[in-house]
Chains A and B, each alone.
Chain A
Amino acid sequence: MTASTEQVLAGLDKQNSATLGKLIGRGNVGQAEEKADGTMRGRIRIPEDELAWDPAVLVLPHGGDVEIELVNDDYNTHCAVLPSNGDSKFIWLPCLSKGTATLNLDGPGYYWYGSPTGNDEGRGLTGVIVVLGDVPAEARLDRPAQPRP
């Protein structure tokens, strides 16, 4: 019997269903909030037995400093290596733990991060941080506005 497209799609979002691990780049989208001083704050957790980040995609409204609370609700130990200007940031995430990482990112664009233990990166523990916005006006080309796709 052939699985329906809906069944396959649902299976891509789960550990050991259609695929062995959750397909990276899929999952919930969350947004960081901007604080009064212009820095940002976000939260990412690892749900029990999902081997995935939730949200899988964290969206920042602009480049700058962001403090991310990382919560491990899983009964396995994970960790995270996250992008940041100057040096990547590392944190152990023992079972049922939480910690923080402060990152500085330019953007615009998106950045992968992951848990470099075992094959966490091959499951859903490869996540994305998206930085919205444009480069500063002084860095743009001196030309009229151009068409985009």
Chain B
Amino acid sequence: MTDYVDAGTAIDLSGLTQIAGAAPPVARTVNYERILRARDEPHNWLTYYGAYDGQRYSQLDQINTENVRNLTPAWVFQFGSSGLHAGASTYAFETAPIVVDGTMFVTGWDGWVWAMNAATGQLLWQYKHAIPFDTSLCCGNVNRGCAVGHGKVFVVTINAHVLALDAETGRCVWDKTWGDVRAGESGTVAPLLVKNMVIVGSSGGEFGNRGHLDAFNVENGEHVWRCYMVPKPGEPESDTWPADSEAWTRGGGNCWVTGSFDPDTNLLYWGTGNPAPDFDGEVREGDNRWTDSVVAVDADTGRIRWGYQCTPHDLWDYDSTMECILFEQDGRKLLAHFDKNGYCFTLDRTNGALVRVTPFGERITWGEITPDGRTLPKIYPQNEGENVHFWPGPAGAKEWTHACYSPRTRMFYVPVQDVGSTVCRVRRQFKESIPYWGASVTVDSDDMNGFVKAIDGDTGEERWRWHNEVPMCASTLATAGDLVFAGTPSGEFHALDARNGVDLWQFQTGSGHHGSPVSYSVDGRQYIATPAGWGGWVEGFAPGMLGGPHGDALFVFALPE
């Protein structure tokens, strides 16, 4: 009989670190009213896009075109990937930090959430959700950010849970399962806090599920409403799907990127994803609403008030999930949406009417959208086993990563990908958890370009462009210092002059950018924070960079003190 040594009880791994263990109570007073007036506190970055309007614009101007050349790292947060985790080769740092009164909240891949001192980088607490290794992921083990308010941090997990964490300790307050991992659903979106609800959209459109947007009560996680983006038979727009078919049950339309919100219209403006199967349209005849659309959803009821479909009957995987930027022109309430299909749609956000549609993509050969909004397909996978080649490829002229808008210059700054793809239709039967593309896809790994393009907000015309040898796959940030910050797949982080595109400063961060930089200040010192960590669906948006160095660091820059 062995006389065993008592090894005791397993302890929390974070107990073996220098983590402080608690954050200041900064999130207690963050609520809907404060986020509505986010522009009144430019030292903070209170919500995913900085404000409900989706502009990704900071009013801070301490760092400007005159002094940006002096920008240096203030601190760096690194975490690293350890052990075996889902999507080990495709994890990426896609987050957008939230900053509240000197405390930063950051999400990572594989269920990580961190709180840190925004001035020093000191880690205050961390949370880890255990993620099954076999979770279905189309596009990497990623998370795009959190929402903060009511004393909590709200985050989704890759295995489709919505969590509320105590913002001071990181402990879980409530945990709701909101998607079915056996159906290929997952969670990657940064939640949006609106009124007393946290709004989240589902991921997993490549697995043939039915995309949905959900609202949960911030206090207790009670489910408030669900809005499906593909109607059941008999529901509005169900006639855009084939009758007597199961196509609607697996039609896609996932909402995996955060929307914007206008309190005057009480509408959430949310982009929806591709129909499924992505490339085989014959099994889903019709326009397939509301896939590839901008939908306006009543924030209180979860009902779709109006929708605008950017790519009816998509055959190219042109999701419309990316941002809807709210702005005004001549007193008119507008919305700008830069779509994967290479066109910018400017809509009247009160009713969804098309104001103008203008191309911003570099090479657009899949088809054409006429000035009055008619879609004219030209090249698409039509015949079984027959290759077709088109630009932009399935990652789009712009992927989910965000454009920004400067009210000072009245220009949008758009990260552009110029990559083509060869697609061959291959019909397959639908089975839950198996990718449901309906094609063989090979994205070009050469003959590619990237740009930051400045687009006139009033006309949709290009004002300037900054060229990069490889596609630009990270969100841009505009500041009142007339700067546009943009990261590249090869790791450089650039500051461009917002007025003319002149490259004023750059810093090599060591890994490619596929996240969202933000700006904030603490004690009067302005910071620019950007995640650097290459990964995700690289074979889709930049296969020529598939061998690029991975990483997982958050760089924070400031002027010398």
A47 lies within 8 A of chain B by Cβ = no
Please state if B5 and A111 are interface contacts (CB–CB under 8 Å): no
Interface string of A11-28 (1 = CB under 8 A from B): 000000000000000000
A148 lies within 8 A of chain B by Cβ = yes
Please state if B7 and A112 are interface contacts (CB–CB under 8 Å): no
A95 to B342, CA, bound (A): 63
| Least distance between A10 CB and chain B CB atoms (Å) | 25
Query: Given the complex, which residues of B lie within 8 Å of A91, measured CB to CB?
Result: 7-11
A106 lies within 8 A of chain B by Cβ = yes
B180 lies within 8 A of chain A by Cβ = yes
Please state if A102 and B177 are interface contacts (CB–CB under 8 Å): no
Cβ-defined partner of B2 (8 Å) among A73, A102, A141, A148: A73
| Least distance between B9 CB and chain A CB atoms (Å) | 5
Interface string of B496-534 (1 = CB under 8 A from A): 000000000000000000000000000000000000000
| Least distance between A40 CB and chain B CB atoms (Å) | 15
| Least distance between B140 CB and chain A CB atoms (Å) | 17
Query: Given the complex, which residues of B lie within 8 Å of A140, measured CB to CB?
Result: 180, 183
Please state if A86 and B11 are interface contacts (CB–CB under 8 Å): no
B54 lies within 8 A of chain A by Cβ = no
Given the known interface contacts A97-B5, A108-B181, A144-B246, the answer about A89 and B134 at a Cβ–Cβ threshold of 8 Å is: no
Please state if A98 and B172 are interface contacts (CB–CB under 8 Å): no
CB contacts under 8 Å to B, within A80-136, are: 80-114, 116, 121, 126, 131, 134-136
Query: Given the complex, which residues of A lie within 8 Å of B248, measured CB to CB?
Result: 143
Please state if A86 and B9 are interface contacts (CB–CB under 8 Å): no
Please state if B210 and A86 are interface contacts (CB–CB under 8 Å): no
B228 lies within 8 A of chain A by Cβ = yes
Please state if A109 and B181 are interface contacts (CB–CB under 8 Å): yes
A142 lies within 8 A of chain B by Cβ = yes
A4 lies within 8 A of chain B by Cβ = no
Query: Given the complex, which residues of A lie within 8 Å of B223, measured CB to CB?
Result: 138
Interface string of B110-132 (1 = CB under 8 A from A): 00000000000000001111111
Query: Given the complex, which residues of A lie within 8 Å of B180, measured CB to CB?
Result: 134-135, 139-141
Query: Given the complex, which residues of B lie within 8 Å of A102, measured CB to CB?
Result: 9-10
Given the known interface contacts A82-B10, A86-B128, A131-B132, the answer about A136 and B2 at a Cβ–Cβ threshold of 8 Å is: no
Cβ-defined partner of B128 (8 Å) among A88, A92, A114: A88
Select the residue from A73, A144, A146, A147 with max chain B CB neighbours within 10 A. A146
Please state if B433 and A94 are interface contacts (CB–CB under 8 Å): no
The residue in chain B whose Cβ has the minimal distance to the Cβ of A67 is B9
Please state if A139 and B179 are interface contacts (CB–CB under 8 Å): yes
| Least distance between A122 CB and chain B CB atoms (Å) | 11
B82 lies within 8 A of chain A by Cβ = yes
CB contacts under 8 Å to A, within B190-241, are: 209-210, 212, 223, 228, 232
B447 lies within 8 A of chain A by Cβ = no
Interface size on A, residues (CB 8 A): 57
Please state if A146 and B183 are interface contacts (CB–CB under 8 Å): yes
B interface residue count range (under 10 / 10 to 19 / 20 to 34 / 35 or more): 35 or more
Query: Given the complex, which residues of A lie within 8 Å of B171, measured CB to CB?
Result: 86
Please state if B4 and A89 are interface contacts (CB–CB under 8 Å): no
Cβ-defined partner of B13 (8 Å) among A87, A109, A121, A146: A87
A44 lies within 8 A of chain B by Cβ = no
Interface string of B1-37 (1 = CB under 8 A from A): 0111111111111111000000000000000000000
Given the known interface contacts A86-B171, A108-B181, A146-B183, the answer about A80 and B83 at a Cβ–Cβ threshold of 8 Å is: no
Query: Given the complex, which residues of A lie within 8 Å of B182, measured CB to CB?
Result: 108, 134-135, 148
Please state if B133 and A112 are interface contacts (CB–CB under 8 Å): yes
Query: Given the complex, which residues of A lie within 8 Å of B12, measured CB to CB?
Result: 86-90
Interface string of A28-64 (1 = CB under 8 A from B): 0000000000000000000000000000000000000
Cβ-defined partner of B7 (8 Å) among A93, A105, A131: A93
Please state if B432 and A147 are interface contacts (CB–CB under 8 Å): yes
Select the residue from B16, B181, B228, B434 with max chain A CB neighbours within 10 A. B181
Query: Given the complex, which residues of B lie within 8 Å of A94, measured CB to CB?
Result: 5, 7
Query: Given the complex, which residues of B lie within 8 Å of A135, measured CB to CB?
Result: 160, 177, 179-182
Given the known interface contacts A87-B128, A106-B161, A109-B181, the answer about A80 and B133 at a Cβ–Cβ threshold of 8 Å is: no
CB contacts under 8 Å to A, within B118-162, are: 126-135, 159-161
B329 lies within 8 A of chain A by Cβ = no
Query: Given the complex, which residues of B lie within 8 Å of A113, measured CB to CB?
Result: 83
Cβ-defined partner of A146 (8 Å) among B127, B134, B135, B249: B249
A99 to B3, CA, bound (A): 13
Interface string of B80-112 (1 = CB under 8 A from A): 001111000000000000000000000000000
Ranked nearest first, the 10 interchain pairs of A and B with the lowest CB-CB distance are A109-B132, A99-B7, A101-B10, A83-B130, A89-B10, A97-B5, A91-B10, A112-B84, A143-B249, A87-B12
Chain A interface (Cβ within 8 Å of chain B)?
70-73, 80-114, 116, 121, 126, 131, 134-136, 138-144, 146-149
Q: Can you name 16 extra interface pairs (CB under 8 A) apart from A134-B180, A146-B431, A149-B434? A: A87-B126, A87-B128, A91-B9, A94-B7, A96-B3, A96-B5, A97-B6, A107-B132, A109-B135, A111-B133, A114-B83, A126-B84, A131-B132, A135-B179, A136-B177, A138-B223
What would 22 A/B residue contacts be, using CB atoms closer than 8 Å?
A: A70-B7, A70-B10, A84-B130, A89-B10, A89-B12, A89-B13, A95-B5, A96-B3, A99-B9, A103-B130, A109-B132, A111-B131, A131-B132, A135-B160, A139-B179, A141-B183, A141-B185, A143-B248, A146-B183, A146-B249, A147-B430, A149-B434
Chain B interface (Cβ within 8 Å of chain A)?
2-16, 82-85, 126-135, 159-161, 171-172, 175-183, 185, 209-210, 212, 223, 228, 232, 246, 248-250, 429-434
